[in-house]
Chain A
């Protein structure tokens, strides 16, 4: 964190809310009606009819199809390339290698500046050097996919290997502090936590391990690209439209407005639909060949060139007094990363905000490895961090002979325990109370192995989930009112299944006082006002802040257009509210004029305004976090060790819920990914070769129908006074706490603590 940021944070803390741009409560947060209603997805009919067109399905005249050839060594360089057989194969248009690829600038690394989204800063196919096992060494372009796939097998590459760091245990020996953990210091201390731990009455000191994971959205990464002169069009599957355009522009030495990225439908993202080598190489091959190019990665190629969640080794040590209060909270550890990226899997973040403790020691190191650059995957940090922290709490509660929920009650902080900022809104204990009651927590026997049904051992577990509120700076929105009073709200944002298209239309309708049918929300294209990326559960709040800003402009313009002949004459913006397809006086309900009427009198066929969201200063003044109580009931087979999750309940405090139907699904989706995290998912990384050994959906086990019980979801629905719409974002929190709830339930069922994910049956035999 820079000195300037620190200074701003300190200053903002003392500024009254009403002085902060964008920090005054959104009046819509308390409104009911459309907002929160379980509206079915507006894009639903298109999707179930198979008519939603994804990136690799955009028709284009004269397409050539691309296939990648991947390196088979982890580090070293190419000594010879023989492309002659591939070039001579039927239908081949081009074989591109570092020898003939156009010269391109290296991608600017993610967050190195506002528009940069490079997954790493390694140059792409510009020289003979190899940095990971799987790095693309050639791209074959042919008239059909079959021809390209075949010719790719004919490219002969020879290498000279250099010593590579491919063993995490070895890499850990040289682990070091990164410059920062997403803006936070890699070491944070209050008091002397080790000393407090040693003097504590109750102690646990444990090590947890989590493996690599891959997002594995079902849509394969793909793009359809073409050049028109120096103008590049990319039909992409992305959760970062403007960043992709900006970064590609710099790579190819053109202006950002010369890159047009379109991505109206994305077949799942979870952090993985970013800018990787394939879009860059497809654009390069298109430029070199003069042909429009379609690239669709094979599932194996997705594992080879799209990063996933990295592996972690975490220590959690807790020291408690007899009364249950914490004397020491220590959460430290190491993740694998590369020298070329910046994604430290911030697993210590939950411990910064969840519990009161007399002392803290939170420390993260990274171990550099020669591997595919890791990246953000659903709740990076919090997903695996809550596994360690919440399992450790369960062990502490057992040692203290306390119910794990009662322990959490005793360490509930009054304000943020590390920043000392007030919480904007926090109802974690209410989540536990209401969730526990609904789930039947009181039926849990704290003695492990006490409940047996035939050969099945049954256990219950719970854990806290948490995810921060963030609002991305830099987003804009446009509102256009048509002559008939209908509205179009637009911004370059993303719909990957979260419900953006539906929820934003609902929110805009509520804000503008229009029925849903008279509002359209346009998104998914860089020709629209600059949007924010979809990540970190930030999109809804970030879009909403931009729409609020645009709406303020809209009201000003409408007042101006309404003039003195309107029933609204003389009323300022603070005396007006949107209602019944127009504006009305807050105090005198009879004074009302529709948008259509205002525009007609002014002789306008439309009105268009655009505005940018104010900077997210609310995040500096308040500790803004969503929390959840996760509950799981598992059955463990005493003969085979097989674990089945038979019941789950998630009880969430995430501010206002904006669409009960899509939110339910999104919470469940996160929890289901949590089942995978707990029980089945692991990207197998060969420590000798640095090669991913299970690059397929047959061998990387995501949860299937049979793994998923009926999942109950509930929420507080208490609006956050400091978040636009009162909503803090719900995309990631669902996965947090789940692995711990399941692991704790497995312990309750069997008496076995598994601290090494995934909890496969071999670990229970």
Chain B
């Protein structure tokens, strides 16, 4: 089976019951994506597929052949970090670091959703075509990613600086200006 992971073609043969998360972690050695519950409740396994965030533990790998999959390893590496990764370090948006890859991928997917005008439950006017990534919008939209260490304030600060502070995006999430 053929996949595109972090812009590279990958071939793998595996049990068709394998989740996308297990494919990444156990078969391809991409252990940046984390397993925290294996049932879609914690968000640690979040990866981007064609720019959209999904829980890779709930995805069967076979369904994602030919799609563009981005994991934390594809965002940036030590020495050439993505601006959001750098902002997480500066704002201390983690402690143990285990939920971090999921928070990062989720935030990038989230910024894309907001840029496309997708409303959330706290969006005041569902008809609005633009979304302002306010503190409440960010907290609501990131609530699928649990952090038991409680680095939530730092995470929101890092996302705000990267995607919402001055209304422009420093990151290369491929999303438009988020209001």
Contact = CB atoms under 8 A, between A and B. Distances in A.
Interface stretch (B82-90, B123-131, B162-170, B171-179): B82-90
A60 to B, nearest CB: 12
B146 A704 contact: yes
Chain A CB within 10 A, most for which of B90, B140, B146: B146
B153 to A, nearest CB: 6
B51 interface: no
Contacts of A671: 150
B32 A669 contact: no
Given A49-B73, A50-B72, A497-B149, A146 B139 contact: no
A218 B72 contact: no
Given A40-B89, A218-B42, A708-B153, A51 B78 contact: yes
Interface string A29-56: 0000000000011011111111111101
Contact of A146 (B18, B72, B90, B147): B18
A190 interface: no
B135 A710 contact: yes
Contacts of B143: 704-706
Contacts of B33: 50
A57 B101 CA distance: 15
A268 B38 contact: no
B96 A705 contact: no
B11 to A, nearest CB: 18
Contact of A705 (B36, B77, B139): B139
Given A57-B25, A217-B148, A299-B39, A44 B88 contact: yes
A660 to B, nearest CB: 10
B110 to A, nearest CB: 11
B15 A48 contact: no
B151 A697 contact: no
Given A705-B142, A708-B139, A669 B150 contact: yes
Given A44-B88, A47-B94, A218-B42, A705 B78 contact: no
B96 A44 contact: no
Nearest to A294: B26
Question: Among B22, B29, B42, which residue has the most Cβ atoms of chain A within 10 A?
Answer: B42
B164 to A, nearest CB: 14
A714 to B, nearest CB: 14
A532 B32 CA distance: 29
A351 B140 CA distance: 39
Interface string A492-510: 0000111100000000000
User: Which label, helix, strand, loop or mixed, suits the secondary structure of the A interface?
Assistant: loop
Interface in A682-698: 696-698
A299 B42 CA distance: 11
B148 A270 contact: yes
A49 B85 contact: yes
A146 B15 contact: yes
Interface string B61-84: 000000000011101111101000
Nearest to A659: B92
A703 B97 CA distance: 17
A497 B78 contact: no
Contacts of A50: 30-33, 71-73, 100-101
Interface in A118-174: 144-147, 150
Interface in B98-123: 98-101, 104
A358 interface: no
Contacts of A57: 25, 31
Given A144-B26, A217-B98, A45 B151 contact: no
B44 interface: yes
Contacts of B53: none
Nearest to A266: B96
A706 B140 contact: yes
B156 interface: yes
B5 to A, nearest CB: 13
Contacts of B88: 44, 48
Nearest to B73: A50
Given A51-B32, A669-B95, A710-B153, A147 B15 contact: yes
Contact of A218 (B22, B34, B73, B90): B34
Candidate in A44, A215, A270, A666 with the most chain B CB atoms within 10 angstroms: A44
B39 A698 contact: yes
Interface string A693-728: 000111000111110101100000000000000000
A296 B95 contact: no
A198 to B, nearest CB: 43
A668 B92 CA distance: 12
A57 B44 CA distance: 15
B56 interface: no
Contacts of A696: 37, 39, 41
A186 interface: no
Q: Closest 3 interchain pairs by CB?
A: A50-B32, A497-B95, A47-B97
Interface of B: 15, 17-18, 22, 25-26, 29-42, 44, 71-73, 75-79, 81, 85-86, 88-90, 92, 94-101, 104, 135-136, 138-140, 142-156
Given A48-B100, A218-B34, 17 more contacts: A44-B97, A47-B100, A48-B88, A51-B32, A146-B18, A146-B22, A150-B17, A218-B99, A218-B148, A665-B92, A665-B150, A665-B151, A668-B152, A673-B148, A696-B37, A705-B139, A705-B140
27 contacts: A40-B89, A45-B78, A47-B94, A48-B72, A48-B88, A49-B76, A50-B31, A50-B32, A50-B33, A50-B71, A51-B73, A51-B77, A52-B97, A57-B31, A218-B44, A219-B36, A265-B96, A267-B34, A296-B35, A497-B94, A497-B149, A662-B92, A697-B42, A697-B146, A704-B145, A704-B146, A710-B135
